[in-house]
């Protein structure tokens, strides 16, 4: 942590300005408690600062991998990862390491994630030797029938995906009643693995289930072990803080997740509060013996899937990916109010442009089909729902 702070101050214009403005010198940061002297970095800070001011002097973009967040927040953020950062996440996510955590031997790995050019996974796969990380990369947005076929073909020991994708898989497998491959372990991330999804999955797969907590900005941040007492912070690579009104919370109290990634020198992530997640420290000690801090609950990154009148499930990332690259669209919210009725709210100039509104309507209609009415409306702001740290980009008020 001390080395990272020195590096950020000496070489990264953004951090030097922020620390100088706060009157903090790198040598003042000695203990974990001293971290609190450093300014908090918001999502807007990262988004609004030119990439050149976020990249450490001496690092060449050509030697790094550019990652871009997508989907879970409604506003993409870009940053550079160096090989050390990618290796760190690759090592944590590798089958030998995951095997130790889930207590079962897992060799073959398959993922079902959202694919675009700048995902963290794309960086990992491109940068790491195949001998270290061999993975079959499936597409979270492909039809569940195709995903099921890939699962049966590749027969992974370990499947990593989102709960909404697992739900789609389980539904199709149940409807068809055909034999299905059971991974030894299924690791779920990015969304809340709720009780109905868990029950449905258990009807189809005999696999053991584990939660993981990660982000594009900071990589794998916490992971459940086979005692299922919460998620252990990956303390050798990240520092997690939980804050309420800027102060650390006590165990059992909800706090906003603030993360420091100790591994990425290209674009350091120090006290980053842009994840929009709320979590609680567990006071328990895990019987596995790991002294890594335990996160009990993580909320906030839940994104809702849409269930259409014909029963089709639409993953929220399909919608966000379809509209967030339309020129001028930065802040938006897509709300399903009834199975056949969807409203899209656009903030700012995008909302005022008739052409932009039409492009957004067309993009959403192309995914949802003619059975759903779509209204695109300009708004001044999108308030978060009660109890949520920020507005969700995709919401469904339809209960199933
Ligand atoms: Zn444990």
* CA pair distance 125, 113, nearest whole angstrom: 13
Between the alpha carbon of residue 116 and those of residues 46, 281, 313, 371, 392, the distances in Å are 20, 33, 21, 28, 21
Whole-number Å distance, alpha carbon 299 to ligand 1 midpoint, is 20
* CA pair distance 331, 392, nearest whole angstrom: 10
Whole-number Å distance, alpha carbon 102 to ligand 1 midpoint, is 10
Whole-number Å distance, alpha carbon 207 to ligand 1 midpoint, is 19
DSSP 192-236: ---HHHHHHHHHH---EEEEEEEETTTEEEEEE-TT-SSEEE-TT
Whole-number Å distance, alpha carbon 210 to ligand 1 midpoint, is 12
In this prediction, residue 314 carries a pLDDT of 79
In this prediction, residue 31 carries a pLDDT of 95
* CA pair distance 374, 378, nearest whole angstrom: 13
- Return the closest-CA partner of residue 37 out of 78, 79, 9: 9
pLDDT in single tens digits along all 400 residues of the chain: 999 999 999 999 999 999 999 999 999 999 999 999 999 999 889 989 999 999 999 999 999 999 998 655 556 789 999 999 999 999 998 889 999 999 999 999 999 988 888 888 888 888 877 766 788 999 988 889 999 999 999 999 999 998 888 988 998 998 888 889 999 999 998 877 777 788 889 999 999 999 999 999 999 999 999 999 999 999 999 999 999 888 999 988 888 899 999 999 999 999 999 887 888 899 888 999 999 999 987 765 555 678 888 877 777 777 887 887 788 787 888 999 999 999 999 987 767 788 999 999 999 999 999 999 999 999 988 877 765 556 777 888 876 5
All domains in the chain, ordered by first residue: 40-302 (3.40.50.12780), 306-396 (3.30.300.30)
Helix (H) or strand (E) holding 318: helix 316-323
Tokens read off for 66 = 């550019």
Interior/surface letters 285-302, b for 16+ CB within 10 angstroms, e for the rest: ebeeebebbbbbebbbbb
Whole-number Å distance, alpha carbon 289 to ligand 1 midpoint, is 6
Residue that is written with structure tokens 């947005």 in the block: 141
Tokens read off for 356 = 């932009």
Whether 19 and 6 have beta carbons less than 8 Å apart is answered as: no
In this prediction, residue 209 carries a pLDDT of 95
Residue list, CB under 5 A from ion ligand 1: 225, 227, 286, 288, 290
Whole-number Å distance, alpha carbon 212 to ligand 1 midpoint, is 13
41-87 pLDDT tens trace? 998 899 899 999 999 999 999 999 999 986 555 567 899 999 999 99
In this prediction, residue 288 carries a pLDDT of 94
Whole-number Å distance, alpha carbon 271 to ligand 1 midpoint, is 25
Whole-number Å distance, alpha carbon 221 to ligand 1 midpoint, is 14
For the chain, give the number of residues.
Answer: 400
Whole-number Å distance, alpha carbon 281 to ligand 1 midpoint, is 14
Beta bridge partners of 258: 241
Whole-number Å distance, alpha carbon 132 to ligand 1 midpoint, is 25
Whole-number Å distance, alpha carbon 100 to ligand 1 midpoint, is 11
């Amino acid at each position: 942590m001390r080395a990272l702070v020195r590096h950020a101050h000496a070489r990264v214009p953004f951090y030097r300005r922020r620390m100088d403005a706060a009157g903090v010198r790198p040598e003042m940061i000695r203990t974990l408690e001293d971290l609190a002297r450093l300014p908090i970095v918001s999502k807007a800070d990262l988004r609004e600062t030119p990439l050149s001011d976020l990249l450490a002097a001496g690092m060449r973009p050509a030697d790094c991998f550019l990652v871009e967040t997508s989907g879970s927040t409604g506003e993409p953020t870009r940053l550079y990862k160096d090989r050390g950062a990618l290796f760190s996440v690759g090592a944590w996510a590798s089958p030998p390491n995951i095997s130790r955590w889930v207590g079962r031997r897992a060799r073959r790995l398959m993922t079902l994630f959202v694919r675009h050019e700048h995902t963290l996974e794309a960086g990992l796969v491109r940068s790491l030797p195949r001998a270290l990380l061999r993975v079959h990369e499936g597409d979270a947005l492909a039809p569940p029938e195709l995903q099921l076929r890939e699962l049966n073909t590749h027969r992974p020991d370990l499947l990593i995906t989102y709960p909404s994708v697992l739900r789609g898989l389980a539904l199709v497998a149940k409807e068809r009643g055909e034999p299905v491959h059971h991974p030894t372990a299924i690791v779920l991330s990015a969304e809340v693995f709720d009780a109905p999804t868990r029950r449905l999955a258990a009807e189809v797969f005999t696999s053991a289930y584990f939660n993981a907590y990660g982000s594009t900005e900071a990589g794998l941040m916490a992971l459940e072990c086979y005692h299922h007492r919460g998620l252990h912070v990956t303390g050798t690579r990240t520092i997690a803080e939980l804050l309420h009104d800027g102060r650390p919370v006590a165990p059992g109290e909800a706090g906003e997740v603030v993360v420091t990634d100790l591994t990425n020198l290209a674009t350091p992530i120090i006290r980053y509060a842009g994840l929009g997640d709320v979590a609680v420290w567990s006071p328990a000690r895990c019987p596995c013996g790991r002294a890594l801090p335990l996160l009990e609950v993580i909320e906030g990154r839940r994104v809702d899937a849409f269930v259409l009148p014909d029963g089709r499930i639409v993953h929220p990332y399909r919608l966000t990916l379809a509209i967030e690259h339309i020129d001028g669209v930065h802040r938006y919210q897509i709300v399903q109010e009834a199975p056949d009725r969807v409203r899209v709210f656009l903030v700012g100039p995008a909302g005022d442009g008739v052409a932009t509104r039409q492009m957004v309507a067309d993009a959403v209609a192309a995914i949802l089909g003619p059975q759903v009415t779509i209204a695109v409306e300009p708004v001044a702001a999108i308030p978060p729902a009660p109890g949520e740290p920020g507005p969700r980009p995709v919401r469904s008020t339809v209960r199933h």
